[in-house]
């Protein structure tokens, strides 16, 4: 039935538009488009919106909650071989087992307890995930991520003690600040640590992020449309 509501077809069209913008931004920055991975952030959306995006051939998706992803992705994964799922939201250590089983990457390592739990589960399950350390570049009290001044020590702990292959750094700039400043800062930090992965850029700023070296952009609403508002205390 034709409704004014967002359909999956519109999502597929918007995906193509985002892909074109990513390619243009990469070329504009003297980079190869394929060096920027697009994570389609499907949180809050369900199968009717997600399936048309899968039908285009896109296979890389992001979710911010383990429980929610567990509810919808196993069925989609069996229908669409080759899906890669990235956890982009905070992880609790008691969810590490489920997270390692379901996801192919985690972008939110920020505490020793989580890093240890993930390392233990990867060993137990014989699975290697791509791992990013989240840095709270805006030093916001309520926000996840290691403080910038603690990032080097935390990455060293992950690499040297826990033998985790850290792929790079991730940040979510404060909403009211210029994202470029945070992207530049994170890129510098990653460079100092010899890390090449940069998980930066969302719907409103992924082109800027690409200019600063993003290897992974996490784009939700520009593909799937506006999300329903979260419950007050979510
Ligand atoms: C929701 C979310 C995104 C995508 O946000 P949009 O503005 O909809 O593109 C990216 N990163 C994280 C960590 C998110 O939680």
- Which protein residue has the closest C-alpha to ligand 1 atom 7? 203
From ligand 1's centre to the CA of 160, what distance in Å?
Answer: 31
227, pLDDT greater than 70: yes
Residue ranges lining ligand 1, Cβ < 6 Å:
41, 43, 64, 88-89, 172, 202-203, 218-222
- Which protein residue has the closest C-alpha to ligand 1 atom 4? 220
Confidence at residue 3, expressed as pLDDT on a 0 to 100 scale = 43
Confidence at residue 230, expressed as pLDDT on a 0 to 100 scale = 66
Q: Give pLDDT tens digits for 78-129.
A: 999 999 999 999 999 999 999 999 999 999 999 999 999 999 999 999 999 9
More confident residue, 220 or 230: 220
What is d(CA 109, CA 125) in angstroms, rounded to the nearest whole number?
Answer: 18
Ligand 1 pocket test, candidate residues 201, 218, 234, most atoms within 8 A of CB: 218
- Which protein residue has the closest C-alpha to ligand 1 atom 13? 88
Indicate the average pLDDT of the chain: 95
Q: Give pLDDT tens digits for 15-72.
A: 999 999 999 999 999 999 999 999 999 999 999 999 999 999 999 999 999 999 999 9
Q: Give pLDDT tens digits for 144-179.
A: 999 999 999 999 999 999 999 999 999 999 999 999
Confidence at residue 234, expressed as pLDDT on a 0 to 100 scale = 47
Proportion of the chain above pLDDT 70, given as a percent: 94
- Which protein residue has the closest C-alpha to ligand 1 atom 11? 218
Indicate which atom in ligand 1 lies nearest the CA of residue 222: 9
SS (H, E, C) 99-144: HHHHCCEEEEECCHHHHHHHHHHHHHHCCCCEEEEEECCCCCCCCC
From ligand 1's centre to the CA of 23, what distance in Å?
Answer: 20
- Which protein residue has the closest C-alpha to ligand 1 atom 5? 220
Buried b (16+ CB within 10 A) or exposed e, 84-94: ebbbbbbbebe
180, pLDDT greater than 80: yes
What is d(CA 200, CA 145) in angstroms, rounded to the nearest whole number?
Answer: 13
Lowest mean pLDDT among 131-135, 197-201, 226-230: 226-230
Confidence at residue 24, expressed as pLDDT on a 0 to 100 scale = 98
Contact, 135 vs 186, CB < 8 A? yes
pTM: 0.95
Q: Give pLDDT tens digits for 207-225.
A: 999 999 999 999 999 999 9
What is d(CA 26, CA 211) in angstroms, rounded to the nearest whole number?
Answer: 7
Place of tokens 């240890």: 116
């Amino acid at each position: 039935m034709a409704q004014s509501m967002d359909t999956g077809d519109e999502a597929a069209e918007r995906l193509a538009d985002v892909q074109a913008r990513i390619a243009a931004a990469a070329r504009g920055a003297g980079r190869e488009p394929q060096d920027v991975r697009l994570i389609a952030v499907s949180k809050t959306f369900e199968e009717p919106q997600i399936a048309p995006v899968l039908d285009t051939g896109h296979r890389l998706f992001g979710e911010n909650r383990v429980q929610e992803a567990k509810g919808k992705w196993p069925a989609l994964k069996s229908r669409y071989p080759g899906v890669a799922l990235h956890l982009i939201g905070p992880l609790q250590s008691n969810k590490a087992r489920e997270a390692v089983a379901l996801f192919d990457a985690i972008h939110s390592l920020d505490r020793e307890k989580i890093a240890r739990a993930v390392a233990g589960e990867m060993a137990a399950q014989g699975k290697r995930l791509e791992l990013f350390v989240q840095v709270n570049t805006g030093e916001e009290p309520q926000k996840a991520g290691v403080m910038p001044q603690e990032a080097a020590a935390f990455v060293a702990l992950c690499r040297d003690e826990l033998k985790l292959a850290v792929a790079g750094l991730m940040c979510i700039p404060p909403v009211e600040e210029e994202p470029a400043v945070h992207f530049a800062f994170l890129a510098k930090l990653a460079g100092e640590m010899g890390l090449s992965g940069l998980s930066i850029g969302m719907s409103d700023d992924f082109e800027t992020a690409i200019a600063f070296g993003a290897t992974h952009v996490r784009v939700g609403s520009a593909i799937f449309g506006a999300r329903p508002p979260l419950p007050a205390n979510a």
